[in-house]
Amino acid sequence: MTEIAELSVQPALRAKAYRCLFESKFVWAEGCEFKWIDKRYGIRQRIPVLRERRIETKIPFIEYLKMAAIDRSPMVRLIAGEMLIKQLENIGDDAFKLAQLLASDKTAAVAERGLFALKDLAK
């Protein structure tokens, strides 16, 4: 999974690979099943069936976060910002450097996540 995150050409695939590495699980849609809303009128709703599989990560979380924060795609950097905010209390000293890096990003959505993390660290 690390090779896909680092070497994939498509940004969406790199983003999905990094998300799987951050969460230590791989989630996919297997299909749909129907849930009855009102049997009398024959109304039912399609519900997606999701499956997941746990994966082992060999590199520490902070290293994946650093790699994702300097990725060339804004999609991947967005996920890095999201994971930084989620794990802000657990990261330690590197959180401030990563938040500054993301706050100075040229993509507005990534910069917002970095600024949010900086404001949260200032508390």
Quick: pLDDT tens for 77-102: 999 999 999 998 888 888 999 999 99
Closest to 65 (Cα-Cα) out of 47, 49, 85, 89: 85
CA neighbor of 70 nearest in space, from 26, 28, 114: 114
Whether the per-residue pLDDT at 1 is higher than 80: the answer is no
Tokens of 118: 């900086």
- Residue 106 binned pLDDT confidence (cut-offs 50, 70, 90): very high
Between 70 and 6, where is the model more confident?
70
- pLDDT, position 32: 95
Q: For residue range 23-75, what is the model confidence (pLDDT) as tens digits?
A: 999 999 999 999 999 999 999 999 999 999 999 888 888 999 999 999 999 99
What is the rounded average pLDDT of the residues 107-119? 94
Distance CA(14)–CA(17), nearest Å, equals 5
Q: Is the pTM of this model over 0.85?
A: no
Cα–Cα distance for residue pair 78/95, rounded to 1 Å? 15
Please give the pLDDT value at position 37.
92
User: 5 pLDDT band (50/70/90 cuts)?
Assistant: confident
